[in-house]
């Protein structure tokens, strides 16, 4: 896997005020919904990672943004040489942030893949993975594609893999999503839905067998 670190990184182009660049600003506001959700996602990542990482532990994050959830945890560990990480993000400016942070932290196993996370071909070479993140995805795709993505997750997961997902409960379909995980071979580990907020964080373990990657398939298209 190509590492995203190196001795000299090119200066990124000035950021454009894309929808996603603007959306990420909320993470930097203490007490905001996104910053609170990030804390729970990072807690779930921390809990999922073994105390001692086996060789090689694979992590994949779809629609990864600047990767602060995964990178923030890996920066605190001393065995990250044993990880192979792919952060899949389509926005070039946000992907550049993730590359810079991984480089500064000397996380040589982190690859920031600028690609369409909805395409299964974007996961070739990193799956089956031990930890899969689908955070900020299910609220930005059509409902039928949410369930289509859950059905495709066995192609991304090793047996025993952890999937962490998020979804708003403004129009609450989380009960159906949780049921879809259960019927697809997952066992729910945790589901957090704070009473004073409309977001939720789910954690599920895959107990089935990994399925071959259908490289010409598509799980979703971001709305």
Q: What strands lie across the sheet with 57-62, from one edge to the other?
A: 110-114, 83-89, 57-62, 129-134, 157-168, 199-206, 186-192
Identify the domain containing residue 69 by its residue range.
35-206
17 part of a folded domain: no
Q: Is residue 8, in this structure, part of any structural domain at all?
A: no
Residue 4 within a domain:
no
> Does 15 reside within a domain?
no
Give the global pTM: 0.89
Domain membership of residue 211 (yes or no) is no
What does the DSSP 8-state code read for residue 49? Answer: S
- Are 65 and 59 in contact by the 8 Å Cβ rule? The answer is no
**Residue 42 falls within a domain, yes or no?**
yes
* Residue 212: inside a domain: no
Domain membership of residue 72 (yes or no) is: yes
Q: 59 has which bridge partners?
A: 85, 131
Which residues of the chain are under the pLDDT cut of 50?
1-13, 15
The total of structural domains in the chain comes to 1
Q: What is the pLDDT of residue 125?
A: 97
According to the model, what pLDDT value does residue 23 have?
Answer: 55
Are 98 and 86 in contact by the 8 Å Cβ rule? The answer is no
The CATH number of whichever domain residue 120 belongs to comes to: 3.40.50.150
> Residue 19 has what pLDDT?
60
């Amino acid at each position: 896997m190509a590492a995203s670190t190196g001795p000299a990184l090119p200066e990124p182009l000035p950021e454009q005020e894309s929808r996603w660049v603007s959306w990420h600003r909320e993470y930097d506001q203490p007490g905001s919904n996104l910053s609170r959700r990030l804390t729970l996602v990072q807690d779930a990542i921390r809990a999922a990672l073994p105390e001692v990482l086996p060789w090689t532990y694979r992590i994949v994050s779809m629609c990864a943004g600047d990767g602060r959830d995964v990178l923030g945890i890996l920066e605190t560990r001393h065995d990250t040489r044993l990880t192979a990480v792919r952060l899949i993000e389509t926005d070039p400016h946000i992907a550049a942030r993730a590359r810079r942070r991984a480089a500064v932290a000397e996380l040589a196993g982190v690859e920031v893949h600028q690609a369409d996370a909805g395409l299964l071909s974007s996961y070739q070479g990193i799956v089956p993975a031990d930890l899969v993140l689908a955070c900020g995805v299910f609220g930005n795709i059509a409902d039928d594609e949410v369930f289509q993505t859950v059905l495709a997750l066995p192609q991304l997961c090793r047996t025993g893999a952890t999937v962490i997902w998020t979804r708003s409960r403004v129009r609450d379909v989380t009960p159906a999503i949780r049921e879809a995980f259960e019927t697809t071979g997952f066992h729910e580990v945790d589901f957090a839905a704070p009473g004073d907020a409309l977001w939720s964080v789910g954690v599920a373990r895959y107990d089935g067998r990994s399925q071959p990657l259908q490289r010409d398939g598509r799980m979703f298209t971001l709305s």
